[in-house]
Structure 1
């Protein structure tokens, strides 16, 4: 009897919860009670708690198991081994025929194939949530959206199931989402606290915004530095969705933002005007109606940037779909006070839910229009390419096989057609060798992506940028390339062939030699040093008689002398061969130390390479992005462990356990006088500090270094600027992210491995240091006409021309290596990564 009473109580409790939730989120809706509701499955109302990702996935699994109108697909895995899932919902006939639907969609996106009957094709709609893990309302809305779409008996739900295939990404960033979810839940009071200063609303470092490696995944759709977006883009190109919703949150005092974004100023230069002027307006009407119905305020046509191709709302625009950014004012917890009163978590979820339903409704109502636009997009891509004076781009680095392969992979991942270069040629003053260079024609369906990869843009409709104003990927990779007015090529490249690596046959050798020019040479060096191999580096070039004949070796070449090894010959060979295999390096050997040209192998210009022992300070007041980029670079590209120590623990650090200290951008005011003295003492006794951007300003402020800021005549300022214009006026002075050409001293240890004396660098700060007074210690400084791509004011451009990009400050027996420009930006500046790695491996030689 007691059990019956308990069951009745539980049933009434769950029913009461269900009714309350439905009244708020789904007033006047009828549902199929056989479909498990979120609150019944999870045990709480959506918005009462933040839902852990594993519970979210479990609910999607339950929906897929229950209904023949749902299918859960696993498309990848995060670094922390969470599955990346997509829940596919449509009528059962469509679920059973997904492959046929997919093939028709691919046919539609291929202008070389017949146009299918679009009237019979369902809309392909992708709703993508929580790319920023601490913007949680989207992930919760994904639960309610999936439930409504499967269980609602409304005419609209039936129409969507009939005429669309809806694909729901509950969280593109599961690792970051769970970091924030746990934070919000662990600080939730059962008496809610709306004070913005409450701990619940203020995460510790790193925030849930970022993924495992502290990357902002909403900047990674183009670079594909992270596994989450590598999986997402691979999946994306199997479907080419017509509509992609990209759900975000913004400041608590804001209302709701939906597109269109700021006309012209925030639009991508390669996207057809039709996208912005016609399609956006069509869809905006649905969003306005949805929020008007529930009395929620919103705004459009301001601020938000849609220009950078690496956004989740911009990449679909360059693939024939419609990408839509949505921004909800955040509660950043369960409830937070704002200028309009308390903002609750359920309120933010409901707005995201309403926009999700409106996106599906618009996608279905405009289904045929969007299908025809998808075909038109790729057809016009080819016609525009034929009118373009540039018919192809040729590219390739003769000396860096690995960087070539990395760039080729990026192009192929974005479905850009690439061909072998079948001849030696010279273009724009650069030489391209047959077999070591490739050709990308512009006349191809991915013409607009080709432009994004190679085009340099310096003229803009606006001077204020939310983010980067330049993203030329060929420059980011430091790739030699040239535009051509004709297209001539060899065979199409469809995949990367296995490398054919050279390694010497067993024999009696004086030394093994490895060129430092290859991107993964540092990985080779770290592996052999970690296994006890003594390594030396050449400061000057030479030509050696090797097992493969006479070969030229540039400055930075690694030399492994056999006479100074503590291991026997077979062990050394095994370690070298393993390192060569995992890093993709060619290894040569010489049986004599007498060089054919240049220095001999026993020269004083060849010296031992110190094994790096690297410490990086992280934590509050430091940049989680830059710290993550450094961690990711060393962890995944070098295989080097790096100690990441919180600033609060610095008092426990003995710097003499390390020889290299990395300071990402930040302000290190948490260090007290005795700690700074410890730092100065360690530095003066031979330590190496690698500082980025504002960290160099902090070192300057502490008088640890004594460089000079660039002082120029003050900009001419008007006496009056209208108050309403203040943002545009001041914003035009910022350097939001642009690309510049710099002189590189490739005889300096920082320049080892570079064959060119010029290098593209990325700048997104207004920090200007003069070149060093020591004429040998500014290895990277800007050229006389440096701007390659992006926006910069005339006044700032003059400052750039006179300033240093990288400089070295000798301090006692140590040195500080200042990176005024970030060499590791977003994990995709492969062209400047080696500058940073040279600072780690060869810092004591500067």
Structure 2
């Protein structure tokens, strides 16, 4: 009863009274007056306003200047140029000796050297906040945690300073955090409004959850598509923290969640059971005690996911540490009504603060245990790797140097050892040449990450997933690979092999030729078009006599005639050289339009490539994630500007200013009859629509396309106990699976592909039948398509009966339905080209 009364008091205490109580966050504590308090520095009590990121960083810089126990480091910058900072706190001797501490600590990850004296080593603790920008209580708790650790006279604070190095990420997502902070502050009432319908509690699109490119950074630890996590991971592998706290928020009506997560079904298959069954239980006791002290309710085990390796709470588990996800019921503003009364911002911050202190306490008291576990983790990884049926994985694409380099970089960023392949080898019918392939041994300390990259998993202890159930990165990159039962290796790679771009000597040529197979060929094409170069594409293969000898050019190859240009041959050559160097493309030249075999350069099967004029609808009702993936792809991989127009402005657009319209997943029911008629008229006169997932359902319901969907069996449902209803429904979702599809290599959508088999990513239960036009389903599933992830038997049958990409002809235009997301999380390099082909060659369909 006493704890319940404390809880009610914490929830309902008036804001004015609360902020006047200096003891709310730190009851019965005394502080060193030489350390400036957050209130004195910021001018308000923590929880009274949402603290802008620049003010947060300024306070951390002030702490580092004020105390010999703190130092601040900028590890990188966001897309909006906000610094990504880490505040490190320990006793003065440790701060002066950080590099030696780091070097001694990372000896624990190398099983080949003797175990250091772990009894004398400080714990390495990383507290990471606000990876979702609209989960702001963590960033505010970071301020209070840093102040407490530096200024408190509590013996526990001194114990933590003396026996640990605490590294605080105040916000992994500063751009999103400021987007939300500004929103909450600009709509704050006086007094604050608790009603959940108030504008303060309902952000506009895009939300503060996401970063500049509208990505969820908490899913990016594995793919590393975004600069924030690229910088974070580089820092992470310099330290290998023993404990990582990953602080989040959840729905307002929830209390507080900490690990353990749901046994087995929410756990990653490569992480040792000791992590989940022993270490999690040890730390949970500290968390429970800390929240019990203030009467805050909490829960464990029921849900949340530690299976997907791209989470901030899962990745440390695969690196020998303990990653812990914390979820606080959110006030989503300064105060909001809930089923237990009004939740104040200060209340949510206090819970996060208490857990932050408990995490540090647990990390210190269990530090020797965690040091030993870190060594044990990598020792057992080597042992398990030595027992794997595969001694190595060999991989490499013979035709796509850029994608090879991108995958090599991913492996090396995750500290996976990669070696040169010293011989040509054929495995399961796939040939890997020594010049264009590499070997990853399984017998290495990062064996568990090797499994993450290459292993295909289709068997699971449960059927309900919080997120993706498949993440094999080699399949995402579309890299040919196979496991080897025996393997030989050359030298270990320490950097990406440098690629030399040889350009044809200056001479009189009829045309320049470029194979479209390389990942960055679209970047090359866009750069040429931006300079006004006339470019054509071959719909059929041919063999040309080039400066490098006879060479086969497959369908989709680019032909740049020296005639028909608006510039001199010298200007054309200079433009081509610059574009080739910037995109890494090999350019060939020929002195004759007569091919050695196949079509000639003047064939009717060679046609001009139109300059894409792309419009993408965004805003309320559309998927910010898919829109962000497309924006990021065109920005960073092609360098192509794209017009992102809010769907609410559709009445102002003249679609005839564009030739391509992208519809991310969403329902566009806000378009009125006149706007729909404009869309239909533009489409039938030759427009191209790229439709992703749910937007195809809207096009169908709006009578714009006339495709058919796979229907499920209609039978009476079996009895399902009420308590099992959510699990039963969840088992019918497709949270994220990988399937093998057949690709029609003669279709323009397949330009640049060499293999008929293509892994695709599906995260929806939309099943569109193959087109009645037998040529309009360029990507369809194989008879036995599942490569990775959980899918129910019923849904698997529907997958087999459906298409992955379907083209609907509408008058002179066409709709290209991407039922599977070709750009998922910025990491599906294997299917990006499908999407880019639709942009550049959509009028060829």
CA distance in 2, matches of 1:588, 1:195: 66
Shift of 1:714: 2.9
Q: Find the residue that maps to 2:23 and give its secondary structure.
A: helix
Identify the residue that residue 388 of structure 1 maps to in structure 2.
388
CA distance in 2, matches of 1:469, 1:21: 47
Contact 1:439/1:489 (8 A) holds in 2: yes
- The 5 Å alignment of 1:547-566 reads 547-566=547-566
Aligned to 2:641: 641
In the TM superposition, residue 106 of structure 1 has moved relative to its aligned partner by 1.1
Distance, in Å, in 2 between the alignment partners of 1:428 and 1:393 is 12
CA distance in structure 1 between the partners assigned to 2:808 and 2:715 by the alignment: 29
1:657 aligns with 2:657: yes
Query: 1:6 — aligned with what?
Result: none
Bigger drift between 496-505 and 542-551 goes to: 496-505
Judge conservation of contact 2:173–2:211 (CA < 8 Å) in 1. Answer: yes
CA distance in 2, matches of 1:550, 1:716: 65
Following superposition, the deviation at residue 746 of structure 1 comes to 1.3
* Alpha-carbon separation, structure 2, partners of 1:715 and 1:468: 29
Residues 533-554 of structure 1, C-alpha deviations (whole Å, 9 max, x = no match): 0000001111110001111111
What is the CA–CA distance in structure 1 between the aligned matches of 2:135 and 2:645, rounded to whole Å? Answer: 27
Check the 8 A contact 1:17/1:45 in 2, yes or no: no
Distance 2:22 2:166 in 1: 22
Could you give the per-residue CA deviations for residues 73-128 of structure 1, whole angstroms, max 9, x where no partner exists?
A: 00000000000000000000000000000001111111112211000100000000
Asked if residue 831 in structure 1 is aligned to residue 830 in structure 2, the reply is: yes
TM alignment of 1:275-354, pairs within 5 A: 275-354=275-354
Q: Which residue of 2 aligns with 1:13?
A: none
Q: Is the 8 A contact 1:17 1:39 kept in 2?
A: no
Q: SS state of the match for residue 328, structure 2?
A: strand
Q: How does 1:699-710 map to 2 (within 5 A)?
A: 699-710=699-710
Instruction: State the Cα deviation string for residues 814-844 of structure 1 (Å, max 9, x = none).
Output: 0000000000000000000000000000000
Deviation at 1:18, TM superposition (A): 11
Cα offset, 1:445, TM superposition: 0.5
SS at match of 2:505: coil
Using the alignment, how far apart are the partners of 2:156 and 2:331 within structure 1? 30
Per the TM alignment, residue 191 of structure 1 is displaced from its structure 2 partner at its CA by: 1.3
Question: Is the Cα contact below 8 Å between 2:19 and 2:48 reproduced in 1?
Answer: no
In the other structure, the counterpart of 2:844 is: 845
Aligned to 1:162: 162
Equivalent residue, structure 2, for 1:455: 455
Name the CA distance, whole Å, in 1 between partners of 2:170 and 2:18.
22
Cα contact 1:662–1:690 (8 A) shared by 2: yes
Q: 1:488 to 1:819 in 2, by over 3 A?
A: same
Map of 2:730 onto structure 1:
731
Q: What does the per-residue CA deviation read over 1:274-305, in whole Å, with 9 as the maximum and x for residues that have no partner?
A: 00000000000000000000000000001101
1:766 equivalent in alignment to 2:765:
yes
Alignment of 1:412-423 (within 5 A): 412-423=412-423
Q: CA deviation at 1:17?
A: 10
Q: Does residue 755 of structure 2 align to residue 756 of structure 1?
A: yes
The separation in 2 between residues aligned to 1:633 and 1:315, in whole angstroms, is 25
Q: Does the aligned pair in 2 maintain the 1:124–1:241 contact within 8 Å?
A: yes
Residues 679-828 of structure 1 aligned to structure 2 (within 5 Å) = 679-714=679-714, 717-718=717-718, 720-828=719-827
Offset, 1:20: 3.7
Q: Hey, what does 1:118 align to over in structure 2?
A: 118
Residue 586 of structure 1: SS of its match in structure 2?
coil
Aligned residue for 2:513?
513
What CA deviation, in whole Å up to 9, does each residue of 1:785-809 have, x standing for no partner?
0000000000000000010000100
Query: How far, CA to CA, are the matches of 2:506 and 2:35 in structure 1?
Result: 69
In the TM superposition, residue 710 of structure 1 has moved relative to its aligned partner by: 1.1
Which piece of structure 1 moves more, 421-430 or 230-239?
421-430
Q: Secondary structure at the match of 1:88?
A: strand
Deviation of 1:712 after TM superposition, in Å, equals 3.9
Deviation at 1:715, TM superposition (A): 5.7
Per-residue deviation at 1:433?
0.8
- Provide the secondary structure at the position in 2 that maps to 1:237: helix
Distance 1:429 1:197 in 2: 60
The corresponding residue for 1:84 is 84
Displacement of 1:566: 1.2
- Match of 2:563, SS? helix
User: What whole-Å deviation, never above 9, does each CA across 1:326-363 have from its counterpart, x for those lacking one?
Assistant: 00000000000000000000000000000000000000
Q: 1:21 to 1:380 in 2, by over 3 A?
A: farther
Distance 1:651 1:253 in 2: 39
2:191 aligned with 1:208, yes or no? no
Assess, with a 3 A threshold, how the Cα gap between structure 1 residues 672 and 114 changes in structure 2: closer, same or farther: same
* Deviation by residue 1:10-50 (Cα, 9 ceiling, x = unmatched): xxxxxx99994531000000100100000000000000000
User: How many angstroms does 1:716 deviate by?
Assistant: 6.2
1:477 and 1:828 in contact (8 A); partners too: yes
* Mapped partners of 2:764, 2:843: distance in 1: 28
- Determine the C-alpha separation between the residues in 2 that align with 1:237 and 1:205: 35
Distance 1:451 1:759 in 2: 21
- State whether residues 742 and 761 of structure 1, in contact with CA within 8 Å, keep that contact through their aligned partners in structure 2: yes
Conserved 8 A contact 2:19-2:45: no
Equivalent position of 2:153 in the other structure:
153
Matches of 2:766 and 2:502, distance apart in 1 = 45
Q: Deviations over 1:347-397 (max 9, x none)?
A: 000000000000000000000000000000000000011111111000000
Structure 1 distance, partners of 2:285, 2:523, is 54
Give SS of 1:238's match.
helix
Alpha-carbon distance in 2 for matches of 1:86, 1:526: 39
Residues 17 and 497 (structure 1), Cα distance of their counterparts in 2 relative to 1, 3 Å cut = farther
Matched with 1:4 is none
Alignment of 1:115-514 (within 5 A): 115-514=115-514
Distance 1:378 1:717 in 2: 48
How far is the alpha carbon of 1:498 from its aligned partner?
2.3
Quote the RMSD (CA, aligned, Å). Answer: 1.0
Shift of 1:711: 1.9
Residue 576 of structure 1 aligns to a residue whose secondary structure is helix
Task: Tell me if the contact between 1:715 and 1:795 (Cα under 8 Å) persists in the aligned partners.
Answer: no
TM value normalised by structure 2: 0.98
Please state whether the residue corresponding to 2:595 is helix, strand or coil: coil
CA distance in 1 between counterparts of 2:793 and 2:187 reads 49
Distance in 2 separating the partners of 1:746 and 1:69: 63
In the alignment, what sits opposite 2:11?
A: none
CA distance in structure 2 between the aligned counterparts of 1:22 and 1:242, rounded to whole angstroms: 33
Residue aligning to 2:13? none
Deviation at residue 501 of structure 1 after TM alignment: 1.1
Question: Is the contact between residue 18 and residue 40 of structure 1 (CA under 8 Å) also seen in structure 2?
Answer: no
Over 3 Å counting, the alpha-carbon distance change for 1:373 and 1:122 in structure 2 is same
Q: Partner residue of 1:8?
A: none
Q: 1:44 maps to which residue? A: 44
**Secondary structure in structure 2 of the residue aligned to 1:656:** helix
- In the alignment of these two chains, the number of paired residues is 830
Distance in 1 (CA, whole Å) between partners of 2:247 and 2:149 is 18
| Structure 2 partner of 1:9 | none
Q: Is the alpha carbon distance of 1:294 and 1:544 closer, same or farther for their aligned partners in structure 2, counting shifts above 3 Å?
A: same
Please say which of residues 159-168 and 421-430 is displaced more in the overlay: 421-430
Match of 2:93?
93
Match in the other structure for 2:10 = none
What is the CA–CA distance in structure 1 between the aligned matches of 2:234 and 2:539, rounded to whole Å? 43
**2:667 matched to which residue of 1?**
667
